[in-house]
Structure 1
């Protein structure tokens, strides 16, 4: 491995980093030891020593390349290093220490226009002299640059266009004070931080090749007045490894966390985040550099602060709302101070570490995870279920329901909780108490599993909220709340020979996962029964041709998305054999999405649903609850593939129908961070049960609601139509209770406290707790339906909800306010 370093003499030095084989003790400085016998260090799948040892590293000089001008920035792109200098050159250096002269570009030679279709492109002037900061995105196929003039540009090199032409640039409109840049590869977004203190996020319009504004990152006056003036310019921005959240810091101090499409998750400006007696200070101190740790559980920051006070380590604990995407600060902070003497004052360089928990939906958006507020940390899980208590009796695959409930109640003393998303009448009787429940079930992950498999990558909970499964570096483990016991592989070799790569989910009493078999060097789908020992002997294994990136279930079907851009569907059939049940996996259908996605990495979600758009006539299948559509989230754009039933339905042998193909997709919505659908049915609330809810970041939420005709007796006139209703919520959505029309989320509650000693420094973190939040948007939906016949039908189905009288009060206030401020009568009111 080579590491580049720039010098003040306009040179790039390449340093070779390798394990020092001359050091004894297995080439390690420190090795874990249990008892009197040292443990032989383990080697992971990449041939690197495992985390239970500290290898001895040797660094040696390889080569250096001298450049003609001062280096402003550089970055690694595939097998080369791109180095920008203040004379406007973009130099390409090979890792061997040689310069690639043919690939060197100069800014003055790059034509730049508003989009790729305009022929009137202009050359960069001398005012845009050099690149201050840049990032490369393989999914966008170009460089995002901040120029010394404050302009921002996206440059497409000749190689990525496949043509023997010069590079071409596209201006980022409406930005003249750019300071920093961060690129989201998964969602194909380019975020620019500005000297005004705001951020602007762009997406590339594929039709014309222009950079269009997706959303802005602006701290509202409600959160903190005059944030741009007080906090100063943006200095650092970093996307999480999964691309679902963006950390942003300012020059004068402060930190904010945003979801992928601009929902504010965390802001330390004002409030109780600064416990210093100096009201002018911001927390944290000015950040000069930041980087996310593995899986986004840690945010490392380097801050500078001049202080005449002594320094000390500080520790605090808390939790913050997840992401999506959805990140949440768990609040373990460590500070390391480097004291330097400067003009009689003490200059402190601090290394800060924030710990976070995040929603399991960020990397594992399976169907069961959407039914609960389910957060995962590096060593524990947080669950505030919507239906554990009220619906678990309806799930017959748990054989000891009554004892499970009792044990779940007994676990309340350890911080566990239950809440309701019940179906039928139980929703009305039990829902209200659990919707307002703000306690959590905290599940510590087995230390035996974490010792060699940290950090946790995937987590999944079953529909009943009674069983969870986690997957780390290798293998996996699962846990039952009713027994409060973890189940691990008895054979450690089996655990270390598999790496979960595409997600993990529950189907009935089976754990379904996509993994890479290290010993066999192949990709597989495996199903393990929950009731049996965790051993490969009891697993059903199916080999697949390509790496699985996403995995989900719909009723008795398993759907996967692979690295070759193909979607495969499998039928699942449970076999009650002794002594342990098995599952039969049969491939049903395979679809290629190559023509509809720019890169497999851009697919953030995949699910099957029984929902259909208005263009499909439900008369053909009036009671169908099969997989009528496939929903694919591609860089925030929600595509809907519907079954093509226009042609003849051909039967195969044994009277089985051939799988119905899918039509070309239609775009349902954009800027989608998450979506919720349900497979449950409730005849009395068909509008809510047939709806699809969308979380769209700063654009709020949307619900795709079916509209049914008044005269349902005339079947030949029956056609279902749908309407997309946008509305605002004050929480970040993590789960939807369909029957109750309630949205659940999580947020950080900052608790101020006083110190028993006055020796603390101004970087002390307040105590933070994680609380569950909720929103009831029913009155917004009724108002958006113009209080017409469809609103009346929806209101009738919800009249038995405990909070429905409050909904009517809110509607009355909105109607009176609208009439009072309107110059003309409002139709229908």
Structure 2
């Protein structure tokens, strides 16, 4: 355990009650001239020949107190924040804090006005709140380089309105972070800098992301008008808790929904967009009047009460069926009949720990974790019956999948570190309750790609299509005038926002763009020849806004 002291020194203590004494870091220079003259202080050597990361408690010279310590054990980094606003990045030995004397100061971050910091370990991002009221984002995978700054300046607010940043809290999946200010308000941002929610009302505009204010403009109706002292997400990222500055009597709670988009091992691009909360779904669909309509779907109490919260949601390609999985089991919803389908046998339901969902035509595919054997498998259920007797196929997996995707008769499964397996699905017989269809799964491609890049957050087929005059109906692939061949390319969206195109035939990858947050694959999804979207291969959203791309050649 490492403790920061008010005199600027660090104090090491073991869990065996061993006290190692206080020590102080040697700090790197602020500019290049000093760096050239004193570079030895950043390379482990202190003036006088001692160890650069360790000075005995008799040589402490810094007076600023240590206000925060952030340890990132995966990259062996320690960030030390001082009360004067200095933020120091330090390297840690392989044994972590057990050898505190080997902690070395490497570089200073920011301009000396930092007040708080928070690490998104999955994204390898350090968010630093400043006295200027802005949040600086540093890419730890790129030597802690500053790559983005988010603030409320574009919404008409300055540091005079909000004060300094008081707290930063990342969601559990590191996809967004909440920022609280000393004088006023709380805002939630995505990594790409999109403002998702704000308690500070919009100036001159009617915005759904800002709370409604009474007609008399009484400020007391705005949440956290006196500033935010602390904020914290729950373990599932559905609720954000905040405490107002100077008020310890109450805790404010904000409820959030998650977009069911094509990331990870659940879902794909489809007609209806689904937002899911901890115990319900919101189906967003457009009306003939071009207005959005939101349908609230409450999950059956018999299911969600035992399997709270919702963890995975996927929609069929036509948007008429929804698959929902909580802690155990899964349930299906028919949009036409407005009915839920559940497991009749609760013991079967409890044996399923869903880690991902896909739709394969009229078949729902479940990535299941088998607890007693610590293994993963794919389960194929027909949408008309959830029961062990109707299970079409059980496919053991080599390990926990990072991402999955499906297109027509093909399923993509990617394992850590970057092993890609593609399966072809063949259904023999009719998929009806009165028949006994046979589902056959065969491996058609395996790739093992060596790369030092960030791990994939999503992968999506870019299908090759050949027109034909005749049409064919089956229970996996819908009718179409396109002959579907095995996809030879796929898009890779990495955790750091990098988007690239992978040639599955040769294993070659080409970078397309970066700072991408969301991705929609559109090619092959439209059957209207006059629809412009048919000429577009995919769309993505990120720091540069919406980008429309068309695949030509590799």
Structure 1 unaligned residues grouped into runs of 5+? 1-80, 306-346, 386-417, 420-432, 613-621, 644-659, 707-719, 723-829
* Structure-2 separation of matches of 1:555 and 1:202: 40
* Structure-1 separation of matches of 2:517 and 2:108: 24
Offset, 1:273:
4.6
* Structure-1 separation of matches of 2:549 and 2:281: 31
User: In the alignment, is residue 85 of structure 1 matched against residue 20 of structure 2?
Assistant: no
Aligned to 2:370: 517
Offset, 1:199:
0.8
CA-based RMSD: 3.4
User: In the alignment, is residue 359 of structure 1 matched against residue 259 of structure 2?
Assistant: yes
Q: Could you tell me whether the CA contact under 8 Å between 1:113 and 1:120 is conserved in 2? A: no
Matches within 5 A, 1:233-632: 233-271=164-202, 272-273=211-212, 275=214, 278-279=218-219, 283-284=223-224, 285-305=226-246, 348-361=248-261, 364=264, 366=266, 368-385=268-285, 419=287, 433=288, 436-501=290-355, 503-535=356-388, 537-577=390-430, 579-598=435-454, 602-610=455-463, 626-632=486-492
The 1:107/1:515 distance shift into structure 2, 3 A limit, reads farther
User: In the alignment, is residue 641 of structure 1 matched against residue 502 of structure 2?
Assistant: yes
Offset, 1:705:
3.3
| Secondary structure class of the residue paired with 1:451 | helix
Offset, 1:666:
2.3
The 1:554/1:168 distance shift into structure 2, 3 A limit, reads farther
**TM-score normalised per structure 2:** 0.81
| Match for residue 216 of structure 1 among 149, 155, 173 | 149
| Match for residue 70 of structure 2 among 132, 135, 146 | 135
Structure 2 unaligned residues grouped into runs of 5+? 43-52, 54-59, 203-210, 466-481
* Structure with larger Rg: 1
Offset, 1:91:
4.3
Length, aligned pairs only = 500
Offset, 1:485:
1.6
Q: Could you tell me whether the CA contact under 8 Å between 2:379 and 2:391 is conserved in 1? A: no
1:755-811: per-residue Cα shift (whole Å, max 9, x none)?
A: xxxxxxxxxxxxxxxxxxxxxxxxxxxxxxxxxxxxxxxxxxxxxxxxxxxxxxxxx
User: In the alignment, is residue 700 of structure 1 matched against residue 545 of structure 2?
Assistant: yes
Offset, 1:555:
2.2
1:296-343: per-residue Cα shift (whole Å, max 9, x none)?
A: 1111122244xxxxxxxxxxxxxxxxxxxxxxxxxxxxxxxxxxxxxx
Aligned to 2:518: 674
* Structure-2 separation of matches of 1:91 and 1:593: 44
* Structure-2 separation of matches of 1:146 and 1:262: 24
| Secondary structure class of the residue paired with 2:126 | strand
Aligned to 1:203: 139
* Structure-2 separation of matches of 1:487 and 1:196: 53
Aligned to 1:390: none
The 1:487/1:519 distance shift into structure 2, 3 A limit, reads farther
The 1:261/1:108 distance shift into structure 2, 3 A limit, reads same
* Structure-1 separation of matches of 2:8 and 2:150: 30
Aligned to 1:108: 25
Offset, 1:642:
1.3
Matches within 5 A, 1:135-154: 135-154=70-89
* Structure-1 separation of matches of 2:368 and 2:120: 26
The 1:186/1:130 distance shift into structure 2, 3 A limit, reads same
Higher RCO (C-alpha 8 Å, min separation 6): 1
Q: Could you tell me whether the CA contact under 8 Å between 1:128 and 1:147 is conserved in 2? A: no
| Secondary structure class of the residue paired with 2:344 | coil
The 1:365/1:515 distance shift into structure 2, 3 A limit, reads closer
Offset, 1:174:
4.2
Q: Could you tell me whether the CA contact under 8 Å between 1:244 and 1:362 is conserved in 2? A: no
Q: Could you tell me whether the CA contact under 8 Å between 2:348 and 2:387 is conserved in 1? A: no
